[in-house]
Amino acid sequence: MGSRIAAHFANAGVPSVLLDIVLPGEADRDAAAKKGLQAAATQRPGAFFTDSAPQLISAGNFEDDLERVAECDWVIEAVVENLEVKRELWSRVVPFVRPNALLSTNTSGIPLAQLSEALDPDARKRFFGAHFFNPPRYLRLVELIPGPATDEEPMRAAERFCDRRLGKGVVRCKDTPNFIANRIGAFFGATVHKILADGDYTIEEADALTGPLIGLPKSASFRLLDIIGLDVWKAVIENVQGAEAGPWRERFQLPGFLSELIERGWLGEKAGLGFYRRMNRGGAQVIEAIDWKSFEYHEAAKPTFPSVETAAGIADLGERLRFLIHSGDRAGEFLWKLFSDLFLYSAGRVPEISGRIVEIDRAMRWGYAFELGPFELWDAAGFEETARRMEREGRELPDSIQFMLESGVKSFYRSADADGAPRTEYFDLEGGEHRPVEDRPGIVKLADVKRARGVVGENAGASLLDLGDGVLCAEFHTKMNALGEDAFRMVRQALEETARNYTALVIANQGAHFSAGADLAMLLLAAQEGGFDRIDAYLKSFQEMNMAIRCADRPVVAAPFGYTLGGGCEAALHAARIQASAELYMGLVEGNVGLIPAGGGTKQMVLNFGDPGRVFELISRAKTSGSAAQAREMGLLTEADGITMNSERLIGDAKQLALSLAPDYVPKEPRTDVAVGGEAAYAKLKMGTWQAHEAGRVTDYGLVIAEKLIHVICGGRLTGKQTVSEQYLLDLEREAFLSLCGAKRTQEMIGHMLRTGKPLRN
């Protein structure tokens, strides 16, 4: 875990020293630390943003290099979860630390009061728990836990640093077993185990019901245990059981099938098998699932439930949950038992683990990647309706919930918008009234803005929102934010509205991804029907939108995150600046479907790079960045573009960047002096591609696509180097794109991508 924490500090540009034990029999006394870094770099998902990031980490060991902690502003201990081991190490570390250094442990459940007993009074003031969730790059939660003597200022310093620099969601916790997220998460997992066994569900059925269907990650329940390790999960469960008193204690009894797997050493991914395993059959990888009663493996099945098939068409999570828990089939029974227990347990842990429901919801969203926390889920399912149902079933409701029902309270959270400013209130289970959720400056939630202020404009593809301070936002909201005519029209309207009434424009959204690109389904259907005029009109609209963004009267800032592919990448590239999320998977990937970028992406790379070879390499490889930092290395982001570590701050940062550009902003004009390589560059690139084809690296049809791309990059087969206009290159893009759309192999590639999500090499 220590190596992954160090990796994320490196991602944030912060150098660190990583110390570990000396491994017996190893010539290199720093081998343990180095192996940890190697694992962090090579395991998937990767811990580093770029291949160069590990250079910021210096490896050492506890025996030779302990005095190096004197170089550090923050000392984080992340050794094995053993009280005595941790105490002994801290007794050796403290003599070397700086007088003002922050001191913390990454314990996931050992009481801080016990750990701090080994420290002197001054060190105790700076000592606290900082529980990073694994993997730290991808799970945003850091739980901060004060010890008995911890001063407030070290906690605040860590909170600010984790939020702004590391991009973390920070939750203050009480010093209770497993703190917040693992306390609720352990109960959730234990409840899944119980329902599985009581209802004779399969592993695949349980995972199908506890993943994206209900707003949880794809890893669901048992796949998650394989990832974190069954032995680690056992320790988490037992830690809670040791502290739990009352009717829920037996819930944390480890089920027999889990104990048996641990006994056999089938601990999940690190052992190569657990609830699932990967097998190679005839050169193809097959995922097998275990039968938890016989412990035999079989090819993982895709479960089917009537209610789930119907619910798949319900986009709104709350509506989907309400439908499912009332469905009455096996899926509905599973989910009602799961949610009703989760709701009651979570409510009963206030104020034991947290004085507010807000921290419990944030901890589960940030630490377990729940779309909604327990109390938000309860609201989504219908607070009063579900509470009354539990009451009818003879369930004992916590006093706080009974009070809410008797007082006519309808929800845990409610809107308290005032004068166009978004405000939210939460129900204080201790105080018995709604209280305001504090403002978090710099964090913008578009749903709250829309609720408080309405929209400036809207159609099926996009909306215009007033972000305040003279900044307008164009928000995409189609499936995967694929770009179509509705989005093009709304962005053009946004540019006109900004020119009249605003200082700047931000293009942003808070969907699952910024944009998966062009509407491939529409393109395929049009191509198959011979509707090339329709495709040409679509491309012209797309190009016109992007050129309007590029030459806008006011500064335009794009705020991409997640998948920013193909057309989504092209739109972002035309903005005056990009403020990118650190987790940015950006690329001109049209080659994967037998096309070339034709919304202005090829043209824009020619403008940005100048070098035809570099443009060709970037586009022909159809590579997607693994982070914003890597996108910068690839040339998709410039040094002037910003990167936001905390995804919640992305739109706020984009807004501030847009405002900073406004005072001195000079609109761009379409260029007429773009240098292109002509016939000589065309011949050179074509020869290189032919050699790659002869070496087996490029398919026959890959040659066809490459020739079309080279033709555009070089400005056609002009004699010698010449200068052309942006519009000239846009016309070449469009011509190449249309000709490829008419090819059967391109249509096969598009169809395969739509069906499987994977490229076809034909």
Handedness of CA 474, 478, 481, 487 (dihedral sign): negative
At residue 44, does pLDDT exceed 80?
no
At residue 720, does pLDDT exceed 90?
no
Could you tell me if 671 and 603 are in contact, meaning their C-beta atoms sit under 8 angstroms apart? no
At residue 336, does pLDDT exceed 90?
yes
- Could you read off the pLDDT of 376-422 as tens digits, one per residue? 999 999 999 999 999 999 999 999 999 999 999 999 999 999 999 99
CA distance 376 to 412: 7
In the chain, the N- to C-terminal Cα span, in Å, equals: 43
Give the per-residue pLDDT at 281. Answer: 85
- Assigned token pair, 104: 């913390």
HEC states along 566-629? CHHHHHHHCCCEEEEECCEEEECCHHHHCCCCCCCHHHHHHHHHCCHHHHHHHHHCCCCCCCHH
- Could you read off the pLDDT of 604-640 as tens digits, one per residue? 999 999 899 999 999 999 999 999 999 999 999 999 9
Could you tell me if 579 and 473 are in contact, meaning their C-beta atoms sit under 8 angstroms apart? no
How many DSSP H helices and E strands does the chain contain?
A: 31, 24
74-77: strand order across its sheet: 74-77, 102-105, 127-132, 141-146, 169-172
* Nearest in space to 321 (alpha carbons), one of 367, 364, 376: 376
Phi and psi for 102 in degrees, rounded to 5? -75, 140
Indicate the SS3 state at residue 188: helix
Q: Any idea what DSSP says for residue 429?
A: T
413-415: strand order across its sheet: 413-415, 424-428, 433-436
- Assigned token pair, 43: 């395991």
| One-letter amino acid of 327 | S
| One-letter amino acid of 371 | E
CA distance 215 to 380: 11
- Assigned token pair, 686: 């074509």
CA distance 322 to 564: 32
Average pLDDT of span 274-284: 90
Could you tell me if 477 and 455 are in contact, meaning their C-beta atoms sit under 8 angstroms apart? no
CA distance 215 to 296: 30
At residue 13, does pLDDT exceed 90?
yes
Average pLDDT of span 42-50: 88
- What's the angle, vertex CA 716, arms to CA 711 and CA 718, rounded to 5? 140
DSSP 432-480: TEEEEPPP-TT---HHHHHHHH--SEE-SSEEEEEEETTEEEEEE-SGG
- Assigned token pair, 489: 């029209």
Pure H helices in 43-180: 83-93, 112-115, 121-125, 152-160
What burial letters (b/e) apply to 343-373, b meaning 16+ CB within 10 Å?
Answer: bbbbbbbbeebbebbbbbbbbbbbbbbbbbb
- Assigned token pair, 648: 């919640």
Q: Quickly state the pLDDT bin for 339 (edges 50, 70, 90).
A: very high
- Could you read off the pLDDT of 242-257 as tens digits, one per residue? 778 888 999 999 999 9
- Could you read off the pLDDT of 121-131 as tens digits, one per residue? 999 999 999 99
* Nearest in space to 513 (alpha carbons), one of 482, 549, 487, 489: 482
Indicate the SS3 state at residue 421: strand
Q: Quickly state the pLDDT bin for 360 (edges 50, 70, 90).
A: very high
Give the per-residue pLDDT at 284. Answer: 83
Give the per-residue pLDDT at 118. Answer: 80
Q: Which residues pair with 129 in a beta bridge?
A: 105, 145
- The angle that helices 601-609 and 700-713 make with each other, rounded to 10 degrees, is 60
CA distance 382 to 316: 14
Task: Kindly give the pairing relationship between strand 562-565 and strand 584-587.
Answer: parallel
Domains of the chain and any CATH numbers: 2-172 (3.40.50.720), 181-384 (1.10.1040.50), 446-589+624-664 (3.90.226.10), 674-756 (no CATH)
- Could you read off the pLDDT of 73-117 as tens digits, one per residue? 999 999 988 889 999 999 999 999 999 999 999 988 788 988 988
Q: Tell me the average pLDDT of the chain.
A: 95
What burial letters (b/e) apply to 467-506, b meaning 16+ CB within 10 Å?
Answer: beebbbbbbbbbebbbbbbbbbbbbbbbbebbeeebbbbb
- Look-up: residue for tokens 């056999």? 264
Could you tell me if 558 and 579 are in contact, meaning their C-beta atoms sit under 8 angstroms apart? yes
Q: Which residues pair with 432 in a beta bridge?
A: none
Q: State percent of the chain over pLDDT 70.
A: 100
- Assigned token pair, 197: 């066994």
DSSP 159-176: HHIIIIIT--EEEE--S-
At residue 276, does pLDDT exceed 90?
yes
At residue 270, does pLDDT exceed 90?
no
Distance of CA 615 to the CA centre of its chain: 29
CA distance 74 to 423: 35
- Assigned token pair, 691: 């050699």
- Rg for the chain (alpha carbons), in Å? 28
Could you tell me if 508 and 650 are in contact, meaning their C-beta atoms sit under 8 angstroms apart? yes
CA distance 603 to 565: 16
| Number of alpha carbons in the 13 Å side-chain half-sphere of residue 665 | 24
At residue 236, does pLDDT exceed 90?
no
Give the per-residue pLDDT at 132. Answer: 95
- Could you read off the pLDDT of 455-479 as tens digits, one per residue? 999 999 999 999 999 999 999 999 8
CA distance 228 to 234: 11
Give the per-residue pLDDT at 393. Answer: 96
Q: State percent of the chain over pLDDT 90.
A: 91
- Give kind and range of the element (H or E) at residue 46: none
CA distance 748 to 698: 17
Q: Quickly state the pLDDT bin for 239 (edges 50, 70, 90).
A: confident
CA distance 709 to 707: 5
Give the per-residue pLDDT at 23. Answer: 94
